[in-house]
């Protein structure tokens, strides 16, 4: 029996939190449609397992410097469609100074035969960049994405 949408969701978010990036693409179908509507800068849809493999690739030299995080505040809403769930949760980051930062998320996922075939991942970009200690990168991307006054 295939894992339920809830089980697949939990494997995904805990896999991200635990840094098991190599295992994550296998949670998705060969053909999929994964979008990050709140991504800043904007991102293209991920439409294949190989695109997700690239998305989840973190060089070994970077993995050790990623902030520690854990999954908290999980609420999974079942829908009338047994393939679809809406999941609310947060990643709680431990920052280098020992303080905590919470990044709220909402994922809407369609899971068929134990694999994610469609997802919309809504993740707070400001809190994400802040938790990663990379707020300057966000500010730079916002400046380049938004037309400046007097330009067209």
pTM of the model: 0.87
Q: Is residue 150 part of a domain?
A: no
Domain count, the chain: 1
Q: Is residue 151 part of a domain?
A: no
| DSSP labels, the chain | -PPPHHHHHHHHHHHHHHT-GGGGGGGEEEEEEEE-TT-SS----EEEHHHHHHHT---HHHHTTSPEEEEEEEEEEE-SSTTEEEEEEEEEEE-TTS-EEEEEEEEEEEEETTEEEEEEEEE-HHHHHHHTT-HHHHHHHHHHHSPPTT--
Domain of 68, CATH number, reads 3.10.450.50
Q: Domain limits at 10?
A: 5-145
Q: Is residue 152 part of a domain?
A: no
* pLDDT in single tens digits along all 152 residues of the chain: 899 999 999 999 999 999 899 999 999 999 999 999 998 888 899 999 999 999 999 887 777 777 889 999 999 999 999 999 999 999 999 887 888 899 999 999 999 999 999 999 999 988 888 887 777 887 887 777 555 555 55
Q: Is residue 37 part of a domain?
A: yes
């Amino acid at each position: 029996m295939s894992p339920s949408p809830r089980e697949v969701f939990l494997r995904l978010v805990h896999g991200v939190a635990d840094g098991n990036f190599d295992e994550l693409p296998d949670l998705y179908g060969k053909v999929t449609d994964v979008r990050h509507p709140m991504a800043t800068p904007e991102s293209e849809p991920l439409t294949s397992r190989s695109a997700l493999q690239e998305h989840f690739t973190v060089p070994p030299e970077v993995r050790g410097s990623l902030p520690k995080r854990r999954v908290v505040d999980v609420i999974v809403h079942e829908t009338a469609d047994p393939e679809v769930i809406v999941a609310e949760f947060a990643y709680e980051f431990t920052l280098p100074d020992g303080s905590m930062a919470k990044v709220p998320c909402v994922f809407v996922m369609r899971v068929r035969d134990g694999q994610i075939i469609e997802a919309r991942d809504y993740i707070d970009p400001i809190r994400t960049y802040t938790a990663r200690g990379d707020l300057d990168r966000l500010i730079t991307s916002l400046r380049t994405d938004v037309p400046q006054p007097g330009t067209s």
